[in-house]
Amino acid sequence: MDRGQRLGSEKILTLLVRLSAPATVAMLVNALYNIIDTIFIGRGVGYLGIGGLTVAFPVQMAIMALAQTIGIGAASATSRNLGAGEVEKAKKVAGNSFLASMLMGAVVFTVGNLMMNPILKMFGATDTLLPYAKEYLRIILIGSLYFPFVVNANNLIRSEGNSKVAMISMIVGAVINTCLDYLFIFPMNMGIKGAALATITSQFFSLLYVLCYFYGENSLIKVKIRHLKFDWSIQKEILKIGSSSFARQIAGSLMAIAINNSLAFYGGDLALSVFGIVQRVMMFLFMPMFGIVQGMQPIVGYNYASGNAKRVIEVVKLAITGITVMAVVSTILGQLFPASIIRLFDDSQEVVETGILALRISIAMIPIVGVQIVGAALFQSLGKVIPALVLTISRQILFLIPLVLVLPKIGGLGLIGIWISFPLADLLSTVFTSFWVKKQINELKRSIQ
């Protein structure tokens, strides 16, 4: 039985575990790399280095947003074409996504270098942190020339049901990055520049790996020269579907503008650095959950296209359950050992004291986010752009940014108000998403009857 047939007939639990496990491991490894990267910077450069990384990180998120727009849009279109038996159309989608990734990388590199100072200041860079952020970002932008292709390729690989290869690609990059981080930051004493060089070098090795896969024997989507012909109708489909992912990622960058500037105002460089630590810890908690979603998406797309709504409902329920269990365990660990977690990055008393409180408050509502994480991905996989877009931006744009701007001013909450904004946004967006998901599940149930 080939991979396409398995998406439509294999037992859902077995299929979800098989597709999610590699994606979850890859996400966990990637999140662990981000943790180790920040620890190395904290230990090798100091908390100001973490602050510079925090300011530059939203730019990386914006690059990822553009890359995921193409990758997830192309993956959704590809999995639905494979489900409908349109293999040649799937290859054309992949070819067009390759062209879009290369063009986007060139634009990001050019604009980023021309407007680096105003961009970093917009994201909250203080005079103290700006030199650190510039040194890091100037090198990261070199990787933007090819990293979008890697992100796109991994999404396409998962869309054909081969998440193990995508996992290996991410692991290869994370392992190389971690090793080079240590080498460049400590023995070679390159500071934050070393961290950036380690990142773009590891991304290049991931690029080589995915290229070998696509032009080897195992890929279902063998892109030939004829598939690398620009097709505006395909590009529109990719952008239309991927827009919700773009909204989610870019919402993170917009959120960073509000949060970083508020943190700089109410807590200065220390608060920005602590947020950088908390942000990495929350990524470590959330990333494995997105691994389950990535395993779910090709199953949803394939079975929806082939008219099997029952399997779509089953995999959505299983994904929500799996993410909820994972979220509960993660939150318990975070609440029990906050001091130990913060000290991994920086053991100075002021960082630890501020970090414990920030971490405990920020992760308080993570156990309820299962529906929220699955919801946007569900509509994205179904090709329903508007619901996917609305749900994608709900947490950051509709709830978190207004809370961050308002709560610190209420009753003199200040910095505490910023930390409280995170669990409140999780609660509100989960309630909001639940309504949409329940409505969609009921519609799928009616199609079965």
Domain hosting 192: range is 3-230
Domain count for the chain: 2
177 part of a folded domain? yes
Q: Rounded distance, CA 422 to CA 365, Å?
A: 8
Q: Rounded distance, CA 311 to CA 325, Å?
A: 21
269 part of a folded domain? no
Q: Rounded distance, CA 325 to CA 322, Å?
A: 5
User: Do residues 436 and 360 both lie within one domain?
Assistant: yes
Q: Rounded distance, CA 434 to CA 367, Å?
A: 14
131 part of a folded domain? yes
Length of the chain measured in residues: 449
User: Do residues 340 and 217 both lie within one domain?
Assistant: no
239 part of a folded domain? no
What angle, 0 to 180 degrees and rounded to 10, lies between the N-to-C axes of helices 47-83 and 130-143?
30
271 part of a folded domain? no
User: Do residues 334 and 427 both lie within one domain?
Assistant: yes
User: Do residues 182 and 320 both lie within one domain?
Assistant: no
Phi, psi at 430, each rounded to 5°:
-65, -45
What confidence score (pLDDT) does residue 318 get? 92
**DSSP label of 144:** T
User: Do residues 213 and 331 both lie within one domain?
Assistant: no
What confidence score (pLDDT) does residue 332 get? 94
User: Do residues 185 and 43 both lie within one domain?
Assistant: yes
Q: Which of 230, 245, 260 is a domain's end point?
A: 230
User: Do residues 291 and 204 both lie within one domain?
Assistant: no
Q: Rounded distance, CA 416 to CA 54, Å?
A: 19
User: Do residues 16 and 142 both lie within one domain?
Assistant: yes
**DSSP label of 167:** H
Q: Which residues, other chains included, contact 257 with Cβ-Cβ below 8 Å and sequence gap of 6+?
A: 58, 122, 123, 124
Q: Which two tokens stand for residue 247?
A: 């909204």
Q: Which two tokens stand for residue 64?
A: 């990822």
User: Do residues 291 and 353 both lie within one domain?
Assistant: yes
254 part of a folded domain? no
pLDDT tens for the 449 residues of the chain, in order: 555 567 777 888 888 888 888 778 877 877 787 788 888 998 888 888 888 888 998 888 888 888 888 888 888 787 777 777 777 777 788 788 888 888 888 999 999 999 999 999 988 888 898 999 999 999 999 999 999 888 888 888 877 777 678 778 878 888 898 899 999 999 999 989 999 999 999 999 989 988 888 777 776 677 666 777 777 878 888 888 777 667 767 777 788 888 988 998 998 899 989 998 998 898 888 888 888 888 888 888 888 888 888 888 899 999 999 999 999 999 999 999 999 999 989 888 899 999 999 999 999 999 999 898 898 888 888 878 788 878 888 888 889 999 999 999 998 899 999 999 999 999 999 999 999 999 888 888 888 76
206 to each of 150, 213, 231, 242, 406, how far by Cα in Å?
7, 11, 27, 22, 42
Which amino acid is present at 338? P
pTM of the model: 0.75
260 part of a folded domain? no
Nearest Cα neighbor of 46 from 273, 285, 216 is: 273
CB contact at 8 A, 185 and 136: no
Nearest Cα neighbor of 80 from 383, 338, 440, 358 is: 383
257 part of a folded domain? no
Q: Which of 194, 214, 230 is a domain's end point?
A: 230
Q: What is the DSSP string of 180-204?
A: HHHHHHTTT--HHHHHHHHHHHHHH
What confidence score (pLDDT) does residue 173 get? 85
User: Do residues 203 and 308 both lie within one domain?
Assistant: no
For tokens 């994606």, the residue is 23
Q: Rounded distance, CA 416 to CA 324, Å?
A: 27
What confidence score (pLDDT) does residue 244 get? 66
Which amino acid is present at 237? E
User: Do residues 294 and 204 both lie within one domain?
Assistant: no
What confidence score (pLDDT) does residue 92 get? 83
Nearest Cα neighbor of 107 from 76, 70, 77 is: 70
User: Do residues 324 and 195 both lie within one domain?
Assistant: no
